[in-house]
Structure 1
Amino acid sequence: MDKYDMKRAHKNLYSSSAGDFTEVDVPEFRYLAVEGSGDPNSSRAYAEAVEALYSVSYTIKFASKKELGRDAVVGPLEGLWWADDMSTFVSRDKRAWKWTMLINQPPWVTDEMVDSAKAVVAKKKALASLPLLHSMTWTEGRCVQILHIGAYDDEGPTLESLHHRVLPERGLTYNGRHHEIYLSDPRRTAPGSLKTILRQPVTVA
């Protein structure tokens, strides 16, 4: 049985250069999603959102393999981030941040499969974020992205460069929410070695 892997199927979107921002075109994808706000390092809602996303994603994976004969690698955790004052991403004032945490799903996953998986998880775990989890499609189109290697809190200079150098030099402006793709497991990776794709949807200024 061939195992579908989002990172291989869309290698240009799930890998990037650490040298400078490159342009990509991101099509519509289906995700599991949970929205929330606040500091991800201290928010219980954030931790429960992540647990709910992984629990449902793995339940979908096992059901798909058993019932459809189609297996897939569970995708990396992703996040859409925004704030009323976007400068808080450079200053790292995480209390002001709003987020939608995501896990990309294989193209054959349906809303019915998501609902069934949620019901299975609900019987095993009491997660406050589980009722908030939903399926969504998201299209970003033209984006610039870069691979950040290091601690999440060290992203500030790269984002400042995006704000004040990259977009003005290329005649571009923002066209959507800041997107991060977490390629490393922070439980098993030293902060200085974490790999994160930083993506920003753009349009002509």
Structure 2
Amino acid sequence: MDKYDVKKAHRTLYSPSAREFAVVEVPELRYLAVDGRGDPNTSEAYANAVAALYGVAYTVKFGSRKVLGRDFVVGPLQGLWRADDPAAFHTRHKQVWEWTMMISQPPWVTEDMVRAAVEDVAKKKTLPGLEGVGLRTLVEGTCVQILHIGPYDDEGPTLERLHSRYLPENGLTFNGDHHEIYLSDVRRTAPEKLRTILRQPVKAG
């Protein structure tokens, strides 16, 4: 049985340079998603959201394989981050961050499959935040992205360079939420080796 892997299906979106910003076109993609607010390092809601996402993601995967005979690799955790002032990201003012945590889904996964998975997980575990998990479609279009290697809190200078230099110098401005894709397992990876894609939807400004 062949496994769908979003990182291979959309290779250019998941293998950016760590040296230079690159412009990419991101097509319509579907995600399991859940919303929240606050510092991801200390917020109980954030930890609950991530646990619920993974519980549903693996249940959808196993259901797809059993019922449809179609398997897939559970994709990396991703996050959309927003704040009234974009400077909150490079100043790391995390208390005001709002977020949508996500895991990508193959194109054949339906809302009915996700609802069934949520119900199945709820029967087996008590996971706060589970009721907020749903299937969403995201169309980001033109984006600028780069690979950050190192601790999450060291992203500030790269984001400052993106916001204050790259975008203005190229006649671009914000056109959506700051997007991060976590390629490394934070539980098993040294902070200095973490690999995170930093992506920003843009438009002519």
With the length of structure 2 as denominator, give the TM-score of the two structures: 0.99
In structure 1, what is the equivalent of residue 65 of structure 2?
Answer: 65
Alpha-carbon separation, structure 2, partners of 1:88 and 1:3: 39
Q: Output the amino acid matched with 1:5.
A: D
In structure 2, what is the equivalent of residue 87 of structure 1?
Answer: 87
Aligned-pair distance for 1:203? 0.5
With the length of structure 1 as denominator, give the TM-score of the two structures: 0.99
Matched, 1:17 2:30: no
Unmatched tracts of structure 2, length 5 or more: none
Matched, 1:190 2:185: no
Instruction: Give the length in aligned residue pairs.
Output: 205
- Per the alignment, in what secondary structure is the counterpart of residue 148 of structure 1? strand
**Deviation string for 1:152-183 (max 9, x for gaps)?**
00000000000111001111111000000000
- Per the alignment, in what secondary structure is the counterpart of residue 137 of structure 2? strand
**Deviation string for 1:65-97 (max 9, x for gaps)?**
111110000000000001112211111011110
Matched, 1:171 2:166: no
In structure 2, what is the equivalent of residue 37 of structure 1?
Answer: 37
Unmatched tracts of structure 1, length 5 or more: none
Q: Output the amino acid matched with 1:146.
A: I
Alpha-carbon separation, structure 2, partners of 1:46 and 1:137: 21
Aligned-pair distance for 1:45? 0.4
Q: State, as a whole percentage, how many aligned pairs show the same letter.
A: 66
Alpha-carbon separation, structure 1, partners of 2:83 and 2:203: 20
Listed as ranges, the matches of 1:105-120 within 5 Å are 105-120=105-120
Alpha-carbon separation, structure 1, partners of 2:18 and 2:145: 9
**Deviation string for 1:76-125 (max 9, x for gaps)?**
00000011122111110111100000000011000000000001100111
Aligned-pair distance for 1:18? 0.3
- Per the alignment, in what secondary structure is the counterpart of residue 160 of structure 1? helix
In structure 1, what is the equivalent of residue 129 of structure 2?
Answer: 129
Q: Output the amino acid matched with 2:83.
A: A
Alpha-carbon separation, structure 1, partners of 2:44 and 2:125: 15
Runs of 4+ in 1 over 6 A off after TM superposition: none
Alpha-carbon separation, structure 1, partners of 2:84 and 2:22: 27
Aligned-pair distance for 1:190? 0.3
Q: Output the amino acid matched with 1:11.
A: R
In structure 2, what is the equivalent of residue 200 of structure 1?
Answer: 200
Alpha-carbon separation, structure 1, partners of 2:138 and 2:149: 26
